[in-house]
Amino acid sequence: ITLSLFCLLLAAPKWHELSSEYTFDQYISDYSKNYAKGTREYDQRKIIFESKLQEILSHNQNTSHTYKRGINAFTDMSHQEFKQSKLGYSKGFRSSRNQQFRQLLLNNKKITPEQIAELPKSVDWRDHNVVSPVKDQGHCGSCWAFATVAVIESHAAISADKHLKVLSTEQLVNCMSNEMQCGGQGGCNGAVAELGFNYVQLFGLTSEYKYPYQSYQGKSSQCTWDHATMTPEVTVDGYLKLPVNSYEHLLHAIATVGPIAISVDASKWHDYEEGVYSGCDVTQNIEIDHAVTLIGYGTDEKLGDYWLVRNSWGTKWGENGYIRLKRESTPQCGTDYTPGIGNACRGQNDAQKVCGQCGILSDSSYPLNVRVVG
């Protein structure tokens, strides 16, 4: 089966417009899919689509759910295809990354209840004009690079009095090495945000205009950035890693510092459309498989507390490219029993405790002293 992802059209129905009468042929038209009737691919895609449509309709009829599911460009993909196409951590090796990276600063300073009480009730860094438009990684497993760049863009804008620069993701995808295979084998085959921060500390980061994204189809190119002669736009002085599974540290950091790079289990996010997502079951395997950007938090009067997360699947997915995840001050914890698939490095495969909805508290970091130099 070949993959076929194209731009979504505004005519596609939203969750409240869907019914069992919506056909596969309508879906093909709405999403500009290229399947010929009578072919094996058409038949296989139709089976997948019809099964998912019934799941979506059944879910949305249950008023106890805090989020709605809908159709999108992923609805005719198998679960495995979706994971291969849109998630950015590849099969690899898991280990403590503390010994692997050039610089690691761990913030173990205790956050007191008084500090938490002083935080604002809600935070959305988009309101401060320091968040660039949502991007689309395409078929490339480059979520790690998009999360790295999004966080650096925002911190650069914060430090430069809201002068927002759109920076190059392709530079990281093409030029950053990943010898320890942390989160994958590098490029479109996965890496982690900390490696991205390390790279920018060493070589800086240029603009999207000078080095545009070209890996959408899933294949990265040779690095064309000459570190010796070309001048970057932004540089950093390393990064800070928050304590694992700490609600207080993540809440305090997103409120007082800026956007944060985080790792999550996004394996069931494919048909999220709106609401506060609570679909990750901690009694099952929580497989950390995707890097995203935490932008803020808040409380929905009807749906409860949430984390505001920016994804890299384009603006036609979710809430204009964002997802709200259920937020609990006393978060539930589960276990990643398949640590060989995820954000680890070569050498160890121990199961790992992960807390918060979709493991949102398990792995978070941000760059230090981001400076605009170009």
Exactly one of 290, 343, 345, 358 is catalytic; name it. Answer: 290
- The mean per-residue pLDDT over the stretch 26-48 comes to 94
Tell me how far apart the terminal alpha carbons of the chain are, to the nearest angstrom: 45
Query: Which residues make Cβ contacts (< 8 Å) with residue 133, sequence separation at least 6?
Result: 166, 315
C-alpha to C-alpha distance for 190 and 90, rounded to whole angstroms = 5
State what percent of residues in the chain have pLDDT above 90.
71
* Topology (CATH) of 97-372: Cathepsin B; Chain A (3.90.70)
Single out the catalytic residue among 72, 174, 189, 311. 311
Query: What confidence category does residue 196 fall into, taking pLDDT thresholds of 50, 70 and 90?
Result: very high
Give the number of other CB atoms < 10 A from CB of residue 245: 20
Whether 290 is a known active-site residue: answer yes
Poorest-confidence range of 97-111, 157-171, 352-366? Answer: 97-111
The mean predicted confidence, pLDDT, of the chain is 88
pLDDT tops 80 at residue 368: yes
Instruction: Calculate mean pLDDT across residues 57-63.
Output: 97
| Active-site choice (72, 140, 143, 280) | 143
| Mean pLDDT, rounded, for 286-293 | 93
17: its two tokens: 């417009």
- What pLDDT, on the 0 to 100 scale, is given for residue 10? 47
Are 154 and 258 in contact by the 8 Å Cβ rule? The answer is: yes
- Mean pLDDT score, 210-239: 91
With a CB cutoff of 8 Å and minimum separation 6, the contacts of 24 are 45, 46, 49, 50, 76
Higher-scoring residue by pLDDT: 194, 102: 194
User: Helices in the chain by DSSP H: which ranges?
Assistant: 24-30, 40-61, 79-86, 113-117, 143-159, 170-175, 193-203, 247-256
- Phi/psi of residue 324, each to 5°? -105, 125
The verdict on whether 311 is a catalytic residue reads: yes
Min mean pLDDT across 84-88, 91-95, 293-297 is at 91-95
Domain boundaries along the sequence of the chain: 15-77, 97-372
Q: What is the pLDDT of residue 339?
A: 65
DSSP three-state, residue 136: strand
Instruction: Name the DSSP class of 348.
Output: B
pLDDT at 349: 64
**Range name among 84-88, 180-184, 340-344, 362-366 with the lowest pLDDT average:** 340-344
CB 281 within 8 Å of CB 358: no
Give the pLDDT confidence score for residue 300 in this predicted structure: 98
43-47, 157-161, 181-185, 334-338 — which one is most confidently predicted on average?
43-47
Average pLDDT over residues 140-152: 96
d(CA 324, CA 217): 28
Return the pLDDT at 3: 38
Q: What is the band of 100 on the pLDDT scale with cuts at 50, 70, 90?
A: very low
pLDDT number for residue 121:
97
Inform me whether the pLDDT recorded for 293 exceeds 50: yes
Place of tokens 């959305």: 124
Q: Do domains 15-77 and 97-372 have the same CATH topology?
A: no
* 294 contacts: CB under 8 Å, gap ≥ 6: 250, 254, 259, 260, 261, 262, 307, 308, 309, 310, 360, 364
Report pTM. Answer: 0.90
**CATH number for domain 15-77, candidates 1.10.287, 1.10.1060, 1.10.10, 1.20.120:** 1.10.287
Is the pLDDT score of 4 beyond 70?
A: no
Dump pLDDT digits (tens) for 315-367: 999 999 999 999 999 999 999 887 655 555 555 567 889 999 999 999 999 99
